[in-house]
Amino acid sequence: MRWVLGIAAIAVSIVIFIVPFIFIVLQAMKTRQEASELAFSWPRQLAFVENLIEVITQRDYIVARAFLNSTILTVASVTLLVVIAAMVGYVMQRRASKIRTVANFFVLAGLIIPPAVVPTVWVLQSLGLFGTLPGLILIEITFGLAFSILLFRAFVSTIPRSLDEAAIIDGASPFRLFFAVIMPLMKPTVVTVIVVQSVQIFNDFANPLYFLPGDDNATVQLTLYNFQSQSNNQWNLLFMDILLITIPPLVMYIFFNRQIVAGMTSGAVKG
């Protein structure tokens, strides 16, 4: 019974979850003409390398530039996000004050309330940051704050206060206490936030669409989308593009699989 159910489940999951991805890979290996048939079949003529080169070099290396932009966007946003959210989560958990009540309210608001897009465009424009990568980085940090603060706060509650006291008695400044004692202890949550937010920001479409228009600064998701609307019949290149931009999140997942699960669950279920 155990075996029958297990094998049935595996078979169903392969059809529902694996076959679509095999389909992507197969299409990415085909010539343009053959890919347009959308058949689930082994390519008659392998064109994997040709497709790869064509996707990257097309339109003046726009995909390569987009990869660079997306990498800068992701690394910068996530780095700053981790530090800023960890600081808030830490003080929020450790120190009761009126500010904490206000901060609590804003964290919940940040989780629930949909951002007002056009007024945000207006704010970015008045700061001269509209359509720039730094502008989008600040936006991504802001929108990631609420969730990250929650995770950090939940984790700080598991670090004993006696540790802080020992460090203070040893003469550590608040700054050192946080960065040299607490931050290293928070590594599990830091990793979780890094992985979850990197995948999120790297895969983000709506924010770059609104706040980073134009080809110069396009992110990978924007180029993929624009590519789709421009060339409806080049399924081989489209799927090669999807394949290419799924690699970074996939690598993240393979390396940090266990940690994501542990961190997500401790934050999401108990927090």
Partner 1 sequence: MTAATTEVRAGRSRKARTSGVSRHAYPLWFYLPAAVLFLVFFAIPTFASFYFSLTRWTLFDQEFIGFENYVQFFREPQLYQGFINTLIYGFLTSGLKVVIGLALAVLLTSALVGRHFLRSVIFFPVLVSTIGVGIMFKALLDPFDGMVNGALETLGITGPGWLTDPDLALYSIIGIDVWKGLGIACLIYIAGLVAIPTEYYEAARVDGASKWAAFKSITLPLVKPATGTVIILSLIGGLRSFDLIWATTGGGPGFSSDVIGSVIYKQYQAGFYGLSTAGNVVLFVVVTVIMVPISLMLNKREVEQ
User: What residues from 169 to 208 belong to the interface with partner 1 (CB under 8 A)?
Assistant: 174-175, 177-178, 199, 202-203, 205-206
Task: Return all residues near 193 (Cβ < 8 A) that are at least 6 apart.
Answer: 78, 81, 82, 85, 148, 151, 152, 263
Tokens of 260: 């994501």
Q: Per CB under 8 A, does 79 bind partner 1? A: no
Q: Which of 42, 95, 162, 258 binds partner 1 (CB under 8 A)?
A: 95
Q: Residue 93 Cβ, how far from partner 1 at the closest point, in Å?
A: 9
225 sits near partner 1 (criterion: CB under 8 A): yes
Instruction: Tell which positions 17-76 bind partner 1, by CB under 8 A.
Output: 17-21, 23-24, 27, 37-40
CB of 246 to partner 1, least distance (A): 5
Per the CB < 8 A criterion, the answer to whether 85 and 149 are in contact is: yes
Distance CA 140, CA 197 (A): 9
- The CA distance from 45 to 43, in Å, is 5
| 165 scored as a contact of partner 1 (CB under 8 A) | yes
Asked if residue 163 binds partner 1 (CB under 8 A), the reply is: no
259 binds partner 1, rule: CB under 8 A: no
Tell me if 193 sits within 8 A of 151, measured CB to CB. yes
String of contacts with partner 1 for each residue 98-137, x by CB under 8 A: -x---x--x-x-xxxxxxxxxxxxxxxx-x----------
115-135: b or e for each residue (b if 16 or more CB lie within 10 Å)?
eeeeebbeebeeeebbbbbeb
Residue showing tokens 């999401």: 268
- The secondary element (H helix, E strand) that includes residue 7 is helix 2-13
Among 33, 104, 158, 265, binds partner 1 (CB under 8 A): 265
Smallest separation (angstroms) from partner 1 to the CB of 65: 18
Q: Is 253 in the site for partner 1 (CB under 8 A)?
A: yes
To partner 1, the closest distance from the beta carbon of 178 in angstroms equals 7
Q: Which residue has the tokens 């603060």?
A: 149
Q: Which stretch binds partner 1 (CB under 8 A): 42-50, 59-67, 93-101, 183-191?
A: 93-101
Angle (CA) 138-251-31 rounded to 5° is 105
